[in-house]
Chains A and B, each alone.
Chain A
Amino acid sequence: MRALEAVAISVVFVIFSAYFHVSAVYKPPSLHAYSVNRALAWLLLRSDSLPYGGELDKVVVDVVPSLVYLDNGGSLAYFRNSTKVHSFRAIWLGYNGTLSPRIVVIGVEP
């Protein structure tokens, strides 16, 4: 009987551990991950030259309201304080036939 009890406790513990692991590690991306990806995709489709002029800050603030910071090829700008930030990256390869890769990172409050 005691052995059965021990097995039952172990089974419950294994189920709990597995469930905890799955729920903590394999969380699906939250809604903001989709919306920020879509916003970056739209910016990338709409303009090849956006990060190379001075308008990126303004446009990103318009399409991503929860923006915390923007890193445009090393030039960093903060828009608000936040304790929790998720970062998203997009790559612009160049514009008007000129190759000039630029990595844009935006930090977003979930």
Chain B
Amino acid sequence: MNHRGQILLLAIIILAFTLLYSASHFSRPNPRFLRYTGELQSAELIHTARLYWSSKKYSLSYLLSILYMLSNESKVSMPIVSYENNYTLVSGRKGCAWYYTVYNNSVSFRAYWMWEFRGFYLKDLYGEKLLYKGYILVYYHNYTAPQWGSIIIYPLLEDNARIADIAYLGNGKWSIGFPARYTEYKLIDEYGLEVVIKE
């Protein structure tokens, strides 16, 4: 290539860059959503599993299909997953139970509680003495994902019927009392999950 050829090549390269740079200013501004698959995606799956266990109306497949539809619309990249659900309750004076969902990408949701009967006591209710059963209950949620390992949180518990005695002792430990005539009693956690104590 002679001297003029080299200058021509250089001119073409400079022209190409100038044209591309100019053209970029004419393009419409297009908002860019960062695609990063990590903590948020795992949290979305755990949130969906938690909603599934609290709803009892919708299947997890249905909730996941809505999540995928919305994530496609919103450009939130979600991994396609399969899952297994398990609800177990071991009744008795000392019992335990759990709701468990595990996805095939090592993300899992577990709500676990165990209770132990501590004794009877009398409660004065509007001048009437009622026999109550007292329990110690331990309740927690365990959220597992490859990004953070394991997170344990202690959700609040409520009694919709407002006849149980509920006191939080700390670190997921609760003191629960309810009328002795019940063999089963249901509390609700702050996410709407039923926590059942059953003898």
Contacts and interface: CB of A to CB of B under 8 A. Distances in A.
Interface of A: 2-3, 5-6, 9, 13, 29, 33-34, 37-38, 40-42, 44-46, 48, 86-99, 101, 103, 105
A48 B67 CA distance: 14
A2 B76 CA distance: 53
Contacts of A42: 39, 43
Interface string B1-12: 110011001000
Contacts of A44: 40, 43-44, 46-47
Contacts, number: 106
Nearest to A88: B34
B74 A89 contact: yes
Given A2-B2, A13-B13, A103 B36 contact: no
14 contacts: A6-B5, A6-B9, A9-B6, A29-B36, A40-B39, A45-B43, A48-B51, A48-B54, A87-B34, A90-B40, A93-B67, A96-B191, A98-B55, A103-B74
B12 to A, nearest CB: 11
B191 A48 contact: yes
A91 B192 contact: no
